Amino acid sequence: MTNLQRNNVYNPNRRAEFDINIEEYLLKLKRRWLPALSVFVVTVGTTLFLTSFLEKTYKSEGKILFKKNTPNELLNLSENTNEFNSLLNTQTPLSTEKLRMISEPVLQQTIDQLKLENSLGEPLKVKEFKEKLAIEIVGGSDVISIEYKDPDPIIASKVVNTLMGVYIKEHVRSNKSATVSADSFISSTIPKIETKLNSLEANLQSFYEKNQVVDLQEEKKSLVDEIGTLNRAISGVGAQLQGKKAQTDSLQNQLGLNLKQAISTVQLGNTPQVQSILDQLSTTETELSQERQRFKDNHPAVISLQEKKQNLNSQLQGLISQYVGAKVSEGLLQSDNLKDNQIEKFINLKIEELSLQTELSSLYQYQQVYLNRAKQIPSLEQQEQSLLREVDSARSTYKTLLENKSDLDVLVNQQTGNAQIIESGIVPEEGSTGRLPLIVLGVLTGLFLANLTAILLEMQDHSLKTISEIKQKFAFQVLGIVPLDTLQNNRGGLVVQREPDSFASEIYRMIQTNLKFLAVKQQPKVILMTSSVPGEGKSLVAANLAAAMAQLGRKVLLIDGDLRKASQHDLWQISNKVGVKDVVAHKTPLAQVVTQPIMQLNVLTSGTIAPNPLALLDSPEMSQLVAAARKEYELVIIDAPPLAVTADVLTLSKLADGIVFVSRPGVVEHESAELAKETLYNAHLEKQVLGMVINGVKQKEFDRYSYHAKYSKSYFSASTETSQTKTVTA
């Protein structure tokens, strides 16, 4: 597989990767700069207009420091005591005090003392007061900051100081009440704790007596040793049992008898009746062997002995079925040499196995007794620890209550709190409108909205707009890039025909050169030109490419294969009365239909529109037409319809050696390109694609991809001027 074919392999299940390309992003902004700039200017202008109405405000700030609360510290005795610490892990005591500062009673007292009013002259409401107030905990400290904003700097200062004063009074009153409550709580709790301690000690003693516990730790060690000894004994007996069981199972599989049947077999073998039958069978076997040496098997004497043997076997099997119930060989019924008898060996092993099972069962019973006691140990330990913790906790609480009772007697008469004002609110000298932050926010918002506008506009535009996007969509080798000004300056005809020495003509000669040096086994002789959608200029590229090849001395035939919307006759400004339809349907000779607009180039137009173009293209006559053109011309170029429009391309591709794909930025959309690509790969035509011509590229992008373009243009412009000068001079 060639490198071109490897590049053309397409995986429809390949996940699309999101690649942030700064250059592409800037190109998108450049394309949408006008609406983006409009949104940015409107946003910033609106922000500037609104900030002009802002009123200057003054901010005063005060700070309160919090210390450890002594009464509450003394109450840190048990889970039922009142603490200064928060009940929730996610909260802190300062969070609680912050909420107390902005509580309605504190704020209302501040409003009433200062007689605060709103802009209408009405008494200020608590909700309006909160909007101007900011209370925050200073990070990494036990300080709360209080800020108030107001157009009057004196009022801002008074509000901060008055609010802190009101809060401190409320805090002292609350601490006074907490101290009294603490003393009352300790006095009433001491007798209860004493009674509880006596009850817990009695419960602990009852636990030891009920469960016969002396020392659980020593008992646990002893149980571990005993269980270990039993486990080793169980392991040894179990191993012996497994060995005996393996032997008995092996013999049982060989004999096909269980223990009961084996015993019955031994008993049956010792009976005189069976012994008599076995002796007769042995004698009969001997006589039969002797008679067979003298006579043949059909001799009466041999037959008689065989019948006798059969009767004896029938009697023996009848006795075995009656007493044993299973098949037993004659050798196992012999009573002599019992040591070598497998049944006797099986019975002895089975007896030993049963003995080991009994011993193992006894060991398991002893083990279970110790395990049951071992299972009780954790529960007993848990109960003991729980009782000990309760006793220790009660003793500790009782001791602490006795020690702190005297301290609380002193604190009852004190009127102090744990909050202290460390910074009073001063009258601010400078105010702020907050305009600058809003302007910065407006600028950032404008930038965001401008970028969002550009992105949304780009998302709505589904076309492939750049060479890079087309190359990412189509993994085909680029044969050439045709600039947009070549199309715009050539509306009246073909640039290669009219200006053969121009830079635009050289571009098409570069395309034919790239086709010539393709890494394929055989140079294509019939080339099919197609595109994704109409309007990409593939007919114009086909015409100019055919002219460029003809100017190099190659005999070229250009066939207009678009029988539905033909355009070659308009490009070449020739008649379309006869064409492909006449050659295929009416079998008109090719030489009578083609037109020669320039040397070495013949053009076969489509002719009048046929009712069923696909039938003409798929006919044997069309194949004969292309076959004849192969012999007569060095190169045949077929201008086919776009891929996604009709099935004509798939039909014409069978007649061509390769496909040249034409794509144009700004015309083809992602969906159309994907459909065209899927059409190629579903029809297995990807290997026929020789390459791609990107048509109608804007000049700036063309110069970026073809950095030598400006030098080539200068060279061809100078050559043209020199040629024109020589003509004028002549």
Assign 542 a pLDDT band (cuts: 50, 70, 90): very high
For residue 6, pLDDT over 50 is answered with no
Residue 558 to residue 410: CA distance in whole angstroms: 116
Q: Between β-strands 658-663 and 58-66, what pairing exists: parallel, antiparallel or unpaired? A: unpaired
Task: Give whichever of 284-293, 449-458, 551-560, 686-695 has the largest mean pLDDT.
Answer: 551-560
The pLDDT score that the predictor gives to residue 106 is 87
**pLDDT tens digit string along 594-632?**
999 999 999 999 888 777 888 888 889 989 999 999 999
The pLDDT score that the predictor gives to residue 269 is 65
For residue 698, pLDDT over 70 is answered with yes
The pLDDT score that the predictor gives to residue 23 is 62
Count of helices and strands (H, E) across the chain: 28, 12
The pLDDT score that the predictor gives to residue 730 is 28
Written as one letter, the residue type at 419 is A
334 vs 527, residue with greater confidence: 527
Assign 639 a pLDDT band (cuts: 50, 70, 90): very high
The pLDDT score that the predictor gives to residue 31 is 67
Residue 435 to residue 47: CA distance in whole angstroms: 9
| Cα-based torsion angle of the residue sequence 407, 409, 412, 416 in order, rounded to the nearest 10 degrees | -20
Cβ-contact 62, 161 below 8 angstroms: yes
Sign of the alpha-carbon dihedral angle for 419, 422, 428, 431: negative
**10-23 average pLDDT score:** 47
The pLDDT score that the predictor gives to residue 189 is 83
- Residues with Cβ within 8 Å of residue 714, at least 6 apart in sequence: none
**pLDDT tens digit string along 656-670?**
988 998 988 877 777
DSSP 687: G
**365-384 average pLDDT score:** 79
Q: pTM value?
A: 0.44
The pLDDT score that the predictor gives to residue 558 is 94
The pLDDT score that the predictor gives to residue 1 is 44
For residue 691, pLDDT over 70 is answered with yes
**30-50 average pLDDT score:** 80
Assign 486 a pLDDT band (cuts: 50, 70, 90): low
Q: Phi, psi at residue 602, to the nearest 5°?
A: -115, 140
For residue 102, pLDDT over 60 is answered with yes
The pLDDT score that the predictor gives to residue 529 is 92
The pLDDT score that the predictor gives to residue 416 is 59
- Mapped onto helix, strand or coil, the DSSP state of residue 646 is coil
* Closest C-alpha among 269, 268, 249 to residue 259: 249
**390-415 average pLDDT score:** 74
**177-204 average pLDDT score:** 79
The pLDDT score that the predictor gives to residue 410 is 62
The pLDDT score that the predictor gives to residue 729 is 31
The pLDDT score that the predictor gives to residue 88 is 46
Residue 680 to residue 142: CA distance in whole angstroms: 74
Residue 523 to residue 635: CA distance in whole angstroms: 10
Average pLDDT of the chain is 76
For residue 48, pLDDT over 80 is answered with no
For residue 339, pLDDT over 90 is answered with no
∠ CA(240), CA(244), CA(247), 5° rounding?
145
Q: Which residues lie across from 137 on neighbouring strands?
A: 144
Cβ-contact 660, 528 below 8 angstroms: yes
The pLDDT score that the predictor gives to residue 660 is 92
For residue 711, pLDDT over 50 is answered with no
Q: Between β-strands 556-560 and 601-604, what pairing exists: parallel, antiparallel or unpaired? A: parallel
**pLDDT tens digit string along 279-317?**
777 787 787 787 778 777 787 877 887 777 777 777 767
Residue with tokens 């299973």: 326
Assign 82 a pLDDT band (cuts: 50, 70, 90): very low
Residue 98 to residue 441: CA distance in whole angstroms: 30
- b/e per residue 629-642 (b: at least 16 CB within 10 A): bbeebebbbbbbbb
Residue 515 to residue 528: CA distance in whole angstroms: 13
For residue 718, pLDDT over 50 is answered with no
**pLDDT tens digit string along 434-445?**
667 778 888 888
Roughly what angle, to the nearest 10 degrees, separates helices 272-294 and 300-323?
Answer: 160
**647-655 average pLDDT score:** 86
The pLDDT score that the predictor gives to residue 417 is 64
**577-602 average pLDDT score:** 89
Residue 363 to residue 339: CA distance in whole angstroms: 33
Cβ-contact 162, 113 below 8 angstroms: yes
| Residue 413: how many other CB atoms lie within 10 Å | 8
The pLDDT score that the predictor gives to residue 2 is 42
Assign 372 a pLDDT band (cuts: 50, 70, 90): confident
Largest CA distance in the chain: 150
Residue with tokens 């599989």: 253
- Ordered structural domains, the chain, with CATH: 3-10+31-54+433-460 (no CATH), 225-364 (no CATH), 467-729 (3.40.50.300)
The pLDDT score that the predictor gives to residue 723 is 42
Assign 495 a pLDDT band (cuts: 50, 70, 90): confident
